[in-house]
Amino acid sequence: MSIYPIYQDVIAEMNFKAGDLPFFMFRYSIKRTPLHYHDFIEFTYILEGDGTQTVNGTPYSIQPGTVSLILPQHLHEAESGDGSYIRKYGCLFDIHMLGESSGDSDWIERLLASGSRLPSCLNLASPQADRMLRIFEELYEESCVPDGIGHHSLVRAKLTEALLLFVRLGAGDDWPRSPFIGESAAKASFRSIIGYMHVHFQQPMTLQELAMQFGVSVAYITRSFRLYKGVSFLDYLHGLRMNRAAGLLVTSAIPITDIALEVGFESFRTFSRVFRETFGRTPSEFRAAGGVQPTLEAVRSSAGSESTEIAGT
C-alpha cells in the first residue's frame, strides 16, 4: 500500500505552451506504475503483456486489447503480472477538449461516468479490439506530425472516434437518453461547469463562485443540477469528493484527517457525516473492510504513470 499518491504535473512534464493542443500521445513500456493522479484524462490501449490496473481502489485485469479511460483526479496504479514489460499506447488530454459542438453531450455524459456506471477498463476482442487499435495507431502517427495541415482537427476527430467506441462498448444500449439532446448555449455552459468540477472538486467551491466564473446565475446552476443530474449542486460535489476519499482509503495509508482535507472538506465532522451517509459506514470501518466499489446510488452521481519515454504515466 502506497503512503501518499504521486501528483503528476502533466503540463510541466510535457513543456506545454500557450496555444498548444492539450493532447499528448505515447507508445511506451512499463513494468509498474506507482499510485498517482493528474488533472488530465488518460486513455490507453494494451499492446503486449498482462497484469493488474487499479483505479480508485478497484482492480482490473489487463491484457492485449484492454482499453482504459481514467478521469482527472482518479487514483490509479498498474503492475505487470509476471514482471515482464507491458507495452501500450497512451494519451493524456485536457477534459475541456471534449464536447465543442452542441450534439456531443449525449456521449460525454456517459464518458464522465467512467469508474462508476461505466467501467474504467474494457477487455476487447476482435473485431472491436482491432478497430480500437487501428484508431490508436492513427492517433499516434498524427501526433508525430504536429505541423500537418488540420492537425488539431484530425486529432480531435480520431480521439472522438476512439472515445465514442469506448463508450458504446462500455455503456451498452440500456443507458437513459440524455436530457442534453438539442442543447442550447445555456446547457452547453452547464456542461462546462460539470467539466470544471471534475477537475477542481478538491478546491473550495461555492455556487456563487461558479456562477461568477461562468457568467450565469446561481438560480440557473441550481435548476440545471436538478433538471439534468437529479441532485443538488452540493450532492454532486459531495459525490465527487466521496469517490476520491474512498479511493484514498483503500489504496493509501494517508491518515483519515488528512484525506478529509485532501478531498476538499475543511471540517472533519462534516466529512465523516457525509461519508457515512454515502457508504453506510465510517471512514475507519470502510478502510478496515478494504472498501467497496462505489455505485451510482452510493455516490448519488454518475461522477464521480513508467518508462524511458514518459515518466509517471
Whichever domain contains 51, its CATH number is 2.60.120.280
Pair 57, 191 in one domain: no
Tell me if 302 sits within 8 A of 310, measured CB to CB. no
Q: What is the DSSP letter of 33?
A: E
Pair 221, 297 in one domain: yes
Sort strands 76-80 and 86-93 into parallel, antiparallel or unpaired. unpaired
Tell me if 4 sits within 8 A of 58, measured CB to CB. no
Domain-ending residue, one of 123, 146, 171: 171
Pair 32, 104 in one domain: yes
Backbone phi, psi, residue 302, to 5°:
-85, 5
> How far, in Å, CA of 160 to CA of 41, rounded?
13
Pair 167, 189 in one domain: no
On whether residue 70 sits in a domain, the answer given is yes
On whether residue 178 sits in a domain, the answer given is no
Pair 70, 147 in one domain: yes
On whether residue 118 sits in a domain, the answer given is yes
H or E element in which residue 268 lies: helix 268-279
- For residue 161, the enclosing domain spans 6-171
N residues, the chain: 313
Domain-ending residue, one of 150, 171, 192: 171
Task: Give residue 56's pLDDT.
Answer: 84
SS3 state at 241: helix
What DSSP assignment string belongs to 159-180? HHHHHHHHHHHHHTT-SPPPTT
| Alpha helix positions (H), 172-255 | 185-200, 207-214, 218-224, 233-251
Pair 18, 80 in one domain: yes
Pair 194, 155 in one domain: no
Domain count for the chain: 2
Q: How far is CA 47 from CA 85, 134, 227, 265, in A?
A: 11, 12, 42, 40
On whether residue 179 sits in a domain, the answer given is no
Tell me if 275 sits within 8 A of 245, measured CB to CB. yes
pLDDT in tens, the chain (313 residues): 455 788 888 878 887 776 788 899 999 999 999 989 898 999 999 999 999 999 988 899 999 999 999 998 888 999 999 889 999 999 999 887 876 555 566 788 788 888 877 899 999 999 999 999 999 999 999 999 988 999 999 999 999 999 999 999 987 655 544 444 344 555 667 878 888 898 889 999 999 999 988 888 899 999 999 888 889 999 999 999 998 898 889 878 889 999 999 999 999 999 999 999 999 999 999 998 876 544 434 433 333 333 333 323 3
On whether residue 228 sits in a domain, the answer given is yes
On whether residue 311 sits in a domain, the answer given is no
The per-residue b/e assignment along 98-121, b for 16 or more CB within 10 angstroms, e otherwise, is bbeeeebbbbbbbbbbbbbbbbbb
Task: Give residue 107's pLDDT.
Answer: 82
